[in-house]
Amino acid sequence: MALYEHVFLARQDLAQAQVDTMAEAVTKIVEDHQGKVVKTETWGLRSLAYRMVKNRKAHYVMMEIDAPGDTVAEIERQHSINEDIIRYMTVKVDAHEQGPSVMMRKQERDRERGRRREEENA
């Protein structure tokens, strides 16, 4: 089986629970095709670089998948039908990244900077 990283962007007006349900739907598709989801990361509601389908923000979700190629085709087919998903991208990788992704490390680094600034100002 091949290794993939799959990222999708969901509309900004959805609740986090709805976004989690979309991620679970992708997990179910992968498992139905004898694959497995190695890791799922929700990057949260983030600003977009430019407006897409009348949205200035989107919920970002990244999934690391170990599955056959026809699984990716089915995931992308389902995403193209779903009007709540603005964009999606799947990339074949040689190996999955160990630990948190770059985006998650960046968020943690930003939180740490904020804490240090608060301590300095106090």
What pLDDT, in 10s, does the model give residues 62-109? Answer: 999 999 989 999 999 999 999 999 999 999 998 877 777 767 666 666
For residues 42-47, average pLDDT: 89
- Residue 53 confidence (pLDDT) above 70: yes
Structural domain that includes position 24: 2-121
Reference 84, options 29, 18, 15, 10; nearest CA is 10
Reference 100, options 59, 41, 26, 46; nearest CA is 41
Reference 25, options 79, 87, 86; nearest CA is 79
Q: Is 22 within 8 Å of 101 (Cβ atoms)?
A: no
- At residue 52, the pLDDT reads 87
- Please give the share of the chain, as a percent, with pLDDT higher than 90: 61
Number of helices (H), then strands (E), in the chain: 3, 4
The pair phi, psi for residue 62, each rounded to 5°, is -120, 135
Reference 45, options 56, 32, 30; nearest CA is 56
Residue 19 sits in a domain whose CATH number is: 3.30.70.60
Q: For the chain, what is the domain count?
A: 1
